[in-house]
Structure 1
Amino acid sequence: MTAALTLTMEDRKALAIQQAESQYQELRRKWLSERTPEQLALISANEAKPRSLTRAPSIEKERTSVVIRSQCPYTGVELWRW
């Protein structure tokens, strides 16, 4: 048997998460190395801004918006609710 077959599901999940995190860190380092100092300053200033948690859009609102747009694809057409 190979080592991959002897891993438990939890071990496989942990390994997948570890690989995804390392891939993310590598891509982030590459992306940040391509930025100019001015862009990096803007990014850090944006990260320092306070974020409001109460005004975050919910999934239901986004889904409702998508449903209404898909039912009324034409500009000016209103959705009649019965």
Structure 2
Amino acid sequence: MSLSYLWSRSFLTSRPFLWLLFWCNLVGTVYGYIWYGGQLEYTLNYHPAWQIVFVPDSPTASLFFTISIAFLLYP
């Protein structure tokens, strides 16, 4: 297997690779929200509720990426 195959469209869009990507991102997203838990509680207690979506920047981005991978897996 050559290195160029690992960057090919056929490899990057294969179902086993997408499933691996999905589960890794899902676990990372859950851990990210656990990591930001204290900041989320602080924001809910001392700031307006609409600001809660801006606290966990990285887990929210990986959540949207995980959702988009799910759409690729389930057409």
TM-score, shorter chain, exceeding 0.5: no
TM-score class, shorter: 0.3 to 0.5
Instruction: Choose between structure 1 and 2: higher helix proportion.
Output: 2
Question: Whose Rg is larger?
Answer: 1
TM-score for the superposition, normalised by structure 2: 0.38
TM-score for the superposition, normalised by structure 1: 0.35
Higher normalized contact order (CA 8 Å, seq sep 6+, divided by chain length):
2
